[in-house]
Amino acid sequence: MDDLREKYLSLIAGAGDEAALEDLRVQAVGKKGEVSLKMRELGKMTPEERQVAGPKLNALKDEINSALAAKKAALADAALDERLRTEWLDVTLPTRARRHGTIHPISQVTEEVTAIFAEMGFSVAEGPRIDTDWYNFDALNIPGHHPARAEMDTFYMHRAEGDNRPPHVLRTHTSPVQIRSMEAQGAPLRVICPGGVYRADYDQTHTPMFHQVEGLAVDKDISMANLKWVLEEFVKAFFEVDGGVELRFRASHFPFTEPSAEVDIRCSWEGGTLKVGEGDDWLEILGSGMVHPKVLQAGGIDPNEWQGFAFGMGIDRIAMLKYGIPDLRAFFDSDLRWLRHYGFSALDVPTLHGGLSR
């Protein structure tokens, strides 16, 4: 046994790697190793011989296993020391670039619009997206037989049997916020009402949900001339036009304004790029008009003393025009690659004069 002890302790001490160490473990204490075979011979010995040989063999096996474990730990430490000696890390190097989140074009354009109108004295008003049909239709002078009130155009909320509350709809425009603002603040008043709206429509230029911003100004001496100036200033700032902008007001009809007008801007299309303020083409961008007396009355304002103008435009639409987004549906069903292309850095802050600052 002394020979076995000296043999394997010497071999273990000289092992150069873990593979050689494993071979020695199998040779010494594996199932067919020399020490294991010696232990099997205990059964052939007399009881007196087993009492002497058994403890010695167990002690030898434990010593070899301890030597194997110690050598394995020493080899691991040596390998780690070698890695630390040959490998190094420059902690002064910059980290790998990480993608930053981007702001959705709808959010960005909403901020731009808000900043521009804020300079002209308009505050932001908000209201519920689910509203009664009185706020969404009746208060806006939209008669009961109007096509917009049909279920094929408007999303009506389900009503349980016995529910006596007035019908509720997903608002089809942000005009109900104008009524609520007049009720809450009275006159004079100057607000814009941005937010999501819903209509039963879906194609390249229409989606069931989209975003509008509507404006309302009420005062004693207010006219279409004031409306024209506000819209001209907005278009120049939003589309970042240095010179003048020519607007064309076309007579139209909206139940909530009288007179009513569709508004076009002079523009050109060169290489598929929109240029505002030049060219021979016209592009419709919004609807507008003087607030109908019945709408003022619905908001609790005396139309014999006050008058006002209102306008409304699609945030999605003007975002498409300004930033070259071809399909309205892309705002809602595109992936992160689209957002990385059309999104805005969080450091791009809208200024009160249009454009972005960093």
The domains of the chain are located at: 1-87, 121-342
| Interatomic CA distance for residues 37 and 71, integer angstroms | 24
232: left (phi over 0), alpha (psi -120 to 50) or beta: alpha
Helix (H, G, I), strand (E, B) or coil at 160: coil
126 belongs to an annotated ligand binding site: no
Q: Which fold has domain 121-342?
A: BirA Bifunctional Protein; domain 2 (3.30.930)
Q: What is the pLDDT of residue 352?
A: 44
Q: What is the pLDDT of residue 21?
A: 83
Q: What is the pLDDT of residue 358?
A: 41
Contacts of 39 (CB under 8 A, 6+ apart): 57, 61
Q: What is the pLDDT of residue 256?
A: 95
Q: What is the pLDDT of residue 174?
A: 95
Q: What is the pLDDT of residue 291?
A: 97
**250: which strand partners?**
262
Q: What is the pLDDT of residue 205?
A: 64
Quick check: 299 and 178 in contact, CB under 8 A? yes
| Interatomic CA distance for residues 84 and 89, integer angstroms | 10
Q: What is the pLDDT of residue 204?
A: 64
pLDDT per residue as tens digits for the range 3-18: 777 887 888 888 888 8
Q: What is the pLDDT of residue 238?
A: 92
E strands of the chain, at which residues? Answer: 123-124, 130-132, 168-170, 189-198, 209-219, 247-254, 257-270, 273-276, 281-291, 307-314, 349-350, 356-357
Nearest in space to 194 (alpha carbons), one of 247, 142, 124: 124
Burial class (CB in 10 A: 0-12, 13-18, 19+), 299: buried
Q: What is the pLDDT of residue 18?
A: 84
Give the chain's residues under pLDDT 50: 351-354, 357-358
Q: What is the pLDDT of residue 353?
A: 43
What tokens were used for 212?
A: 């509008």
